[in-house]
Amino acid sequence: MSALANLLADAGVPVRGCDARESFFVRKLRARGIPVTVGEVPEAAISEPVIVYTEAIDRHTTLLEQAQKKGKKVLTRAMLLGEIAQAYPHVLSVAGCHGKTSATAMLAHIFSAAGMPFTCHIGGEDTAFGNYFSTGREYFLTEACEFRRSFLSLKSEIAVVLNTDLDHTDCYASAEDLLNAYTRFAAAAQHVVINAEDANAVRIPHALSFGVHTGDIRATRICANGEQYCFTVSEKGIPVTRIRLRVLGRVQMQNALAAYAAARLAGIPARTIAEGLEDFRGVKRRFEYAGTLNHIPIICDYAHHPAEMRAAIATAEGICRGTVRVVFQPHTYTRTRDLMADFVSVLRRAESPVVYRTYAARETFFWEGSAPALVSRVPEAVYVQSPHDLRRRLLETAQKDDLILVLGAGDIDEIVRGLLDKS
């Protein structure tokens, strides 16, 4: 939402907003002169001609219903994003349960290297561009979120499907239901890029596929140095260019290949794409070094789905000389309940993982999807529910040469940063 607020403000549209709590994004909006209230939505807000809300809140809140009765134009965030995208001649959108923030940010660096006028809308904070950056209104680069089928509001010139893992089980009845949504998203695009190593994505009609080991665009001659990967990109079997990524993790090769394929369809030369990818330094909360606790390094990662957690743990193990100490905060009760077996499998891989209290987001408590319910299935795990207890547990267990890996999309990042060594 904050990226869209900045985009509209740059276009000369008066904007104001409200949020549930103070945050970095709220302070950033205020700093550029956009008023944001925290807490209850002021009744004066419904006097605005257009009201936009995130689908993470209840669409039947009293103020939204009052606005509709008054004839105000009420849009979801997805609807606004769709309307904004229509104002650009070329739209590139990136969908998938994992990786879309990094892949979209990679595209921004590629278009910057190419000198092509673009505006990017990113779901996280790229270390160079933030979550919104613009050099012109020719190309619109955006994430396409599957939550509540939000991405169906987008009509793209080039659409990317990174993966189709089941998630958001509160709004998708099955994996097939989710795949149908991805298929509809892709059908609205002129050209589609899919992950050739995703068994469901390959069923979607496409122009190009990518994959580390298979697909039209793939990686060959792969070299790794402490989870930092260098590889040659081959296009339909022909070696084209060499890329050395500056970010850690094998999963970043997948994201880079996806961005490469989309950029090629946009007409960008291979060598320029490589320059853009090599300029990418990462996104905040995506395997980001946060600091130390008692001189033990802490890495924070947004991973809140079992597949993302598995990838983050594998990357951490590749650079850690001691033990990877995992801290995980579950994100929503329904996700934890419906993917319980996968969460258990991932956490049992870690040594004495710490599970922090659930970040409920839009949901209310129920035992079957709670953090204690998860811990009850992982004998090695310990449950904590306060920053004090978390700090005490980590100080008791983490030793020299260990690494603390903090996983979760809720407030665990902010909590852990409050525990860091001050110097």
Q: Which residues of 13-24 are buried (b: 16+ CB within 10 A; e: fewer)?
A: eebebbbeeeee
Q: What is the pLDDT of residue 177?
A: 96
Per the CB < 8 A criterion, the answer to whether 337 and 376 are in contact is: no
Q: How far is CA 246 from CA 105, 213, 253, 368, in A?
A: 13, 21, 11, 41
Q: What is the pLDDT of residue 154?
A: 96
Phi then psi for 237, rounded to 5 degrees? 90, -5
At 122, is the secondary structure helix, strand, or coil?
A: strand
* Identity of residue 159: A
Structure tokens at 385: 């529910």
Q: What is the pLDDT of residue 58?
A: 66
Find the angle CA(87)-CA(168)-CA(151) to the nearest 5 degrees.
Answer: 15
Instruction: Give the Cβ contact number of residue 70 at 10 Å.
Output: 11
Rounded to the nearest 10 degrees, the angle between the axes of helix 251-265 and helix 270-279 is 140
> If you count them, how many residues does the chain have?
423
How far apart are alpha carbons 282 and 287 in whole angstroms? 8
At 250, is the secondary structure helix, strand, or coil?
A: coil
* The model's pTM: 0.94
How far apart are alpha carbons 410 and 303 in whole angstroms? 10
Q: What is the pLDDT of residue 296?
A: 97
Structure tokens at 225: 């140095």
Cβ-based neighbours of 291, under 8 Å, separated by 6 or more: 297, 298, 417, 420, 421
Give, for all 423 residues of the chain, the pLDDT tens digit: 899 999 999 999 999 988 888 888 899 999 999 999 887 776 766 678 888 988 777 665 777 788 888 888 889 999 999 999 999 999 999 999 999 999 999 999 999 999 999 999 999 999 999 999 999 999 999 999 999 899 999 999 999 999 999 999 888 999 999 999 999 999 999 999 999 999 999 999 999 999 999 999 999 999 999 899 999 999 999 999 999 999 999 999 999 999 999 999 999 999 999 999 999 999 999 999 999 999 999 999 999 999 999 999 999 999 999 999 999 999 999 999 999 999 999 999 999 999 999 999 889 999 999 999 999 999 999 999 999 999 999 999 999 999 999 999 999 999 999 999 997
Q: What is the pLDDT of residue 172?
A: 94
Q: What is the pLDDT of residue 59?
A: 61
Per the CB < 8 A criterion, the answer to whether 124 and 106 are in contact is: no
Cβ-based neighbours of 389, under 8 Å, separated by 6 or more: none
Q: What is the pLDDT of residue 111?
A: 98
The H or E element that residue 191 is part of is: strand 191-195
Per the CB < 8 A criterion, the answer to whether 407 and 329 are in contact is: yes
Q: What is the pLDDT of residue 60?
A: 58
Structure tokens at 378: 């992982």
How far apart are alpha carbons 270 and 232 in whole angstroms? 11
* Identity of residue 402: D
Find the angle CA(291)-CA(294)-CA(298) to the nearest 5 degrees.
Answer: 30
How far apart are alpha carbons 294 and 80 in whole angstroms? 46
Q: What one-character DSSP code corresponds to residue 340?
A: H
